[in-house]
Amino acid sequence: MDNDEKTSGFSRNSNYFKGAAAPCFLRENIMLKVGDKAPEFSLVADSGEKISLKDYRGKKVVLYFYPKDMTSGCTQEACDFRDNIKKIEKKNAVVIGVSPDDTKSHNKFKDKYELPFTLLSDETKTMLNDYGVWQEKSMYGRKYMGVVRTTFIIDEKGKIEKIYEKVKVPGHIDEILQQL
């Protein structure tokens, strides 16, 4: 907990944020919320080229953060986006997936599951931190840092339109399609 969290009484993991009507995330002690300008990024994509948020001005961006390539939940989420990509594109939107995996892993993942959208590699976790999705997690009593499965819908002007936190994969694609 940093000094601001101590004085405010709120931390990223406090009960204050759990179940909030409008999910929010701390970013350098700033809470990301619906209506905020989405943090800019420039990362290497699976294609090897650098991709930035500004490259997508004029389109909606479904920006989803996931823990790891080739794992069951992440594979199902990616395949749900793949299976609905035409519906998403008809709504003037693109899908971008982000994880800390390297581009080699992303390429294997894309090839194996024929994913038709961009995957960004954030090995330094800069973007993950900027969007507040690199958080302390717990499994079987062990605490560790990891990606909390989260989706941001960013509008055509680069503002956050919707935040889905702690995403449960079954039914998530339906929420996205309805929001778009």
Question: Which CATH number do you get for residue 85?
Answer: 3.40.30.10
The answer to whether position 2 is within a domain reads no
Q: What is the pLDDT of residues 99-128, one digit of tens each?
A: 999 999 999 999 999 999 999 999 999 999
Residue 43 contacts residue 51 (beta carbons within 8 Å): yes
| Paired residues of 160 in beta bridges | 154
How many domains does the chain divide into? 1
d(CA 126, CA 141): 27
The answer to whether position 10 is within a domain reads no
pLDDT at 86: 97
Residue 53 contacts residue 154 (beta carbons within 8 Å): yes
Tell me the residue range of the domain where 80 lies: 26-179
- Residues in contact with 175: Cβ distance below 8 Å, sequence separation at least 6, in sequence order: 164
The answer to whether position 13 is within a domain reads no
Record the pTM.
0.81
Which residues form the catalytic set?
74
Residue identified by tokens 């350098």 is: 28
pLDDT at 45 over 80: yes
Smallest Cα–Cα separation from 77: which of 177, 153, 180, 168?
Answer: 168
Residue 99 contacts residue 147 (beta carbons within 8 Å): yes
